[in-house]
């Protein structure tokens, strides 16, 4: 591949971290994702959260109904369960038997709709034991929640206080450190020593590859660039970009596209979450091109995720062309609207 191609072909990617919500708004956001991705890990932080196999199956049925309404038959949702202090080992085994892809650990209060999350990881040890035994991945929102810890340090502190002890107690548990945002997290995942079978990986969002924390305050407060974990300093963005483009299979694509209506973002206490699904692949292509590593995009976007989850790789190919795509200032979201990432500007790459 030349250094600056104008067109690239890849095996169709999957999104390993996605919020599509529920009800009226779901089909608006689902269409954006299904246009680009073959599969997505569907986050369980609904209200109330998806804590049981029965709730996940019902959610899957609603997703499938929306896909049908949209006339889409080429997209598969991968369901997850929300871990709580009360998740039983039995529910874990049942989840495995019924094809649930993973459990999600939200420290209580860490982010949007996480109030029923885990208050103390020790309370989950029986469930974690069962996950390790049956090969069920644990996806972690890696931030401590204590208000005494500076918000920009919460991910790094989580590594020392929670993640590393957890990995020592459950060396065979497959863990995905979701939406990493710091140099510490990138290096921790890169350098982690595992057994013969790799047990750790991380997802990285487009906004954390393209933006640093100045983007939240550029000329005034920019609520649409606010997500959790919050954007960090430039040195962290650089470390994430280096990890994503390194060809290391421990790093793969997870957009964390997290839709909130315009009014809920542009408010005195605005919600956390960036909506990147409109043209997420174009954003990732820009990031990889910025360091001349477009040839590393396919591994990150299409190969390493299914390999880690022990799922088959996709076979269909897609093409991205270097052609600027305008991003609308607002998109429909049920009765409301949503402001996508890069609203009113352009993205350099377009899905053909």
Q: How many residues does the chain have?
A: 352
The contacts of residue 169 (CB under 8 Å, 6+ apart) are 125, 128
Which three-class secondary structure state does DSSP give residue 347?
A: strand
| 227 makes contact with ligand NCD (CB under 6 A) | yes
| 107 makes contact with ligand NCD (CB under 6 A) | no
| Paired tokens of 223 | 């609520």
| 272 makes contact with ligand NCD (CB under 6 A) | yes
For 329, other C-beta atoms within 10 Å of its C-beta total: 12
What is the size of the binding site for ligand NCD (CB under 6 A)?
A: 11
| 28 makes contact with Zn ion (CB under 5 A) | no
Rg of the chain over all Cα atoms, to the nearest angstrom: 19
| 350 makes contact with ligand NCD (CB under 6 A) | no
Smallest Cα–Cα separation from 259: which of 160, 203, 344, 341? 341
The contacts of residue 348 (CB under 8 Å, 6+ apart) are 282, 285, 286, 289, 322, 324
Which three-class secondary structure state does DSSP give residue 351?
A: strand
| 208 makes contact with ligand NCD (CB under 6 A) | no
Residue 45 binding: pick among ligand NCD, Zn ion, none (C-beta 5-8 Å cut-off by kind): ligand NCD
User: Which of these is catalytic: 256, 295, 307, 335?
Assistant: 256
| 49 makes contact with ligand NCD (CB under 6 A) | no
Is residue 326 within 8 Å of residue 19, measured between CB atoms? no
| 111 makes contact with ligand NCD (CB under 6 A) | yes
What is the rounded CA–CA span in Å between residue 189 and residue 171?
A: 14
Residue 256 or residue 289: which is nearer to Zn ion going by CB?
256
Annotated catalytic residue 256: yes
Residue 256 or residue 286: which is nearer to Zn ion going by CB?
256
Residue 318 or residue 338: which is nearer to Zn ion going by CB?
338
Residue 111 binding: pick among Zn ion, ligand NCD, none (C-beta 5-8 Å cut-off by kind): ligand NCD
Candidates 94-102, 161-169, 248-256, 327-335: pick the segment binding Zn ion (CB under 5 A). 248-256
| 265 makes contact with ligand NCD (CB under 6 A) | no
CA-to-CA dists, residue 54 to 59, 95, 148, 186, angstroms: 9, 9, 38, 35
| 141 makes contact with ligand NCD (CB under 6 A) | yes
| 273 makes contact with ligand NCD (CB under 6 A) | yes
Tokens 């529920």 belong to residue: 22
| Crossing angle of helices 89-97 and 125-134, rounded to 10° | 30
- Pick the binder of ligand NCD from 63, 228, 243, 301 (CB under 6 A): 228
Residue 103 or residue 349: which is nearer to ligand NCD going by CB?
103
**Least CB distance from residue 292 to Zn ion, whole Å?**
29
**Least CB distance from residue 100 to Zn ion, whole Å?**
17
Please, which contacts does 56-65 make with residues 24 or more away whose CB atoms are closer than 8 Å? 56/80, 56/81, 56/95, 56/100, 57/98, 59/22, 62/22, 62/26, 63/20, 63/26, 63/30
**Least CB distance from residue 307 to ligand NCD, whole Å?**
23
Q: Is the peptide bond before 339 cis (omega within 30 degrees of 0)?
A: no
Enter the DSSP assignment of 114: -
- Pick the binder of Zn ion from 14, 256, 286, 289 (CB under 5 A): 256
Candidates 56-64, 71-79, 249-257, 298-306: pick the segment binding Zn ion (CB under 5 A). 249-257
| 143 makes contact with Zn ion (CB under 5 A) | no
| 162 makes contact with ligand NCD (CB under 6 A) | no
| Paired tokens of 329 | 């200032």
Binding mask 9-48 for ligand NCD (x = CB under 6 A): ----------x-------------------------x---
Q: Return residues touching ligand NCD (CB under 6 A).
A: 19, 45, 111-112, 141, 227-228, 256, 258, 272-273
The set of catalytic residues is 256
Q: Return residues touching Zn ion (CB under 5 A).
A: 256
């Amino acid at each position: 591949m030349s250094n600056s191609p104008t067109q690239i072909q890849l095996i169709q990617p999957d999104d390993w971290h996605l919020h599509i919500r529920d009800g009226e708004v779901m089909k608006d956001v689902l269409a954006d994702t299904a246009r680009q991705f073959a599969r997505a890990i569907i986050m369980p932080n609904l209200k109330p959260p998806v804590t049981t196999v029965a709730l996940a199956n019902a959610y899957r049925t609603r997703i499938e109904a929306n896909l049908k309404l949209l006339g889409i038959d080429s997209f598969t949702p991968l369901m997850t369960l929300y871990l709580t202090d009360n998740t039983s080992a039995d529910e874990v085994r049942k989840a495995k038997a019924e094809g649930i892809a993973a459990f999600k650990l939200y420290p209580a209060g860490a982010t949007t709709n996480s109030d029923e999350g885990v208050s103390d990881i020790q309370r989950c040890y029986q469930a974690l034991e069962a996950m390790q035994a049956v090969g069920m991945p644990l996806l972690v929102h890696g931030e401590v929640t204590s208000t005494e810890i500076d918000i920009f340090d919460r991910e790094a502190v989580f590594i020392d206080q929670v993640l590393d002890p957890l990995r020592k107690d459950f060396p065979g548990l497959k863990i995905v450190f979701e939406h990493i945002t710091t140099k510490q997290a990138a290096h921790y995942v890169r350098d982690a020593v595992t057994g013969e079978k790799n047990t750790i990986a991380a997802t990285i969002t487009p906004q954390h590859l393209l933006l640093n924390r100045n983007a939240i305050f550029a000329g005034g407060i920019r609520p649409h660039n606010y997500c959790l974990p919050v954007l960090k300093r430039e040195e962290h963005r650089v470390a994430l970009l280096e990890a994503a483009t390194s060809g290391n299979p421990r790093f793969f694509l997870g957009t964390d596209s997290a839709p909130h209506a315009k009014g809920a973002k542009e408010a005195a206490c605005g919600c956390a979450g960036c909506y990147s699904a409109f043209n997420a692949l174009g954003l990732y292509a820009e990031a990889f091109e910025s360091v001349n590593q477009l040839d590393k995009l396919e591994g990150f976007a299409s190969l390493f995720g299914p390999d880690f989850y022990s799922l088959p790789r996709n076979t269909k190919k897609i093409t991205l062309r270097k052609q600027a795509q305008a991003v609308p200032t607002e998109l429909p979201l049920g009765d409301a609207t949503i402001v996508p990432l890069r609203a009113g500007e352009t993205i350099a790459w377009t899905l053909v």
